[in-house]
Amino acid sequence: MADEEKKADAQQAQPKGSSLISKYALPLGLVMIAVIGALLVFKFVVLPVMGGSDEVQPTTDDLEIPTMIPAAAVALSFDDKYVEVIMEDPDMPASLLMYAVTLICANQDTADLVEKHRPFFENMLLDLHESHTREELKETKSLVKETIQKRALQKANELLGRFEEPSKDVVILDVLHTNFAMTDMM
């Protein structure tokens, strides 16, 4: 009986909060480790696969792309194109990514230059749209679309630099998707 009283006194002497902390400390620690691991995987695995950093780098240091679209801007549309989507199972029928892109050119001279070299721009857009998995498009479609638009803007201005000296007058201001949809072939 004396032993039972000592155990009861020892339990009353321990604060109740310390048992609560020790009870939840391990699960909370494991959850925090899992969250940190997921963030690290996203930053170092997913983002580089999806196109690297979110920043669009201009073709030259002195070339600034204005945030306002001027009245002289010209929209140049590219027709609907299709690319095959990479499937998880090679025996499955391939899905198609259907896309249409519009380039917002700073002026008519820029639009004429793009039109003159249209095959180069179509090839660049094709390269950016292919090599995506079905799962990637299904789960992060808006992120993939935004990444393609930013990379297309950068690459379009780089292409313009191949045909003419980079200037503030000859520049692509924005890239828009007028169509971006995945369809399954069954």
pLDDT, residue 54, reads 46
Quote the pLDDT of residue 11. Answer: 55
pTM for the complete prediction?
0.61
Answer whether 68's CB lies under 8 Å from 62's CB. Answer: no
Nearest 10 degrees: Cα torsion 80, 82, 88, 92: 120
pLDDT of residue 7: 57
Give the ranges where 42-177 is alpha helix by DSSP (H): 47-49, 108-116, 118-129, 134-139, 141-163
- Specify the pLDDT at position 62: 47
Query: What pLDDT does residue 55 have?
Result: 46
What pLDDT is recorded for position 93?
A: 85
Which pLDDT value is given to residue 3?
59
pLDDT, tens digit, for every residue of 43-83?
A: 877 777 776 544 444 444 445 555 678 889 999 999 999 99
Domain coordinates in residue numbering, the chain = 2-46, 50-184
Per-residue pLDDT of the chain (186 residues; tens, 9 = 90+): 555 665 555 555 555 556 767 778 788 888 888 888 888 878 877 777 776 544 444 444 445 555 678 889 999 999 999 999 888 888 888 889 999 999 999 999 999 999 999 999 999 999 999 988 888 888 888 899 999 999 999 999 999 989 877 777 889 999 999 999 988 876
Looking at the domain 50-184, which fold is it?
Tetrahydropterin Synthase; Chain A (3.30.479)
How many C-beta neighbours within 10 Å does residue 95 have?
20
Q: What is the DSSP string of 26-51?
A: HHHHHHHHHHHHHHHHIIIIIHHHTT
